[in-house]
Amino acid sequence: MTPALFRFGTYNLFNLQIPTTPDEKQRYELIVGNIRSAFQNRTGVLGVQELLGPTKSDAQQLLRYLAEDTGLMCEVMPVRGKRAVPALASQASGASAHRFHVGLLWTSDIEPVPGTFRAYEGGSDFWHGLAMADFRAGGPVPTRWCSYHAYPFSPERRLEEARRVMSVFQDPDVAGGVAADWNSISADRRPNGDFYDPEPYLEQDHRKLRYQVIFDPDNPDAPKRANREAGEFLRRDPGGLRDSAAVLDVPWQWSCGHWIDAKGRADDFGRRRIDTLRVTENVAATARAHTTHYGPDAEAASDHLLVTADFSLRELAVTPA
């Protein structure tokens, strides 16, 4: 039976590692509960970011634990290989190794197409990484779903990474989307032409702004406007990826900025929206809902909130417009 709606989600898990202390276990249980609540009685795929592990094997085990505890799936056949592996992509390996990983989880009523999983590991293309697989998910053709985490420290590097993200959808017959912490503000617009995301930095003055705003070398007092170059590249036609919140023109909602760190400090950037779901034009045409999952448990679990969008993939055009 074809599901009525397909749910796609993104969730930055804030330095989540295999829990060993009571506090870590408590936060892990909150994350598990948030995911279970969002995907209960649903069909869909969830992209997760900031899985921590000193090795890829550690992060794979953490993704397995998440799958088991949430009732979701994570094992997929890679392009090369005869054994299923967790759908995980890691930062650069070797001497430049980092600890951050991204992954995919999905409900048990759909399945990845064998041999389509690919891990774009960190290195020349990405700082963090991108995990990708095609799924038979209720539409007339398989669809492609990705989890990605953008570079935090340079608008120019984010633009270059955006070019690589778009290469995943270079084939015009490929439909799907990317769940991500983009580490920047969207450039998508409302029907009236205004930016969907208002300028968040105009009244701010702190050192981290250097990674987010456009600088005018001739006017140091110019308004601190968000650098949206990566978002503009991602949304441009032909072949752009649509931000599901802007597609549906839902009321603006923040996805991060509520967290108080271990030293009692609030987020320097304040509340903003950098966790979004970008989908191909034909998938966007089937969008039915966009939800940011708020609540005490959500805000206590991570410095980012779980974001989902629902699509009617059975209405998906076989050939994108």
Quick: pLDDT tens for 54-102.
Answer: 889 999 999 999 999 999 999 998 777 678 999 999 986 654 556 899 9
CB 90 within 8 A of CB 56: yes
Could you tell me if residue 177 is inside a domain?
Answer: yes
Give me the domain span that covers residue 88: 6-307
CA–CA distance, 176 with 194 (Å, rounded to integer) = 26
Quick: pLDDT tens for 255-284.
Answer: 999 999 989 999 999 999 999 999 999 999
Could you tell me if residue 141 is inside a domain?
Answer: yes
Could you tell me if residue 84 is inside a domain?
Answer: yes
Give this prediction's pTM.
0.96
Residue 257: left (phi > 0), alpha (psi -120 to 50), or beta? Answer: left
Partner residues linked to 147 by β-bridges? 131, 179
DSSP state of 79: S
DSSP state of 159: H
Quick: pLDDT tens for 109-157.
Answer: 999 999 999 999 888 789 999 999 999 988 789 999 999 999 999 999 9
Query: Is the confidence at residue 319, as pLDDT, over 60?
Result: no
Could you tell me if residue 47 is inside a domain?
Answer: yes
Could you tell me if residue 321 is inside a domain?
Answer: no
Q: Are strands 88-90 and 100-106 parallel, antiparallel or unpaired?
A: antiparallel
User: For position 273, which CATH number holds?
Assistant: 3.60.10.10
Could you tell me if residue 318 is inside a domain?
Answer: no
Could you tell me if residue 319 is inside a domain?
Answer: no
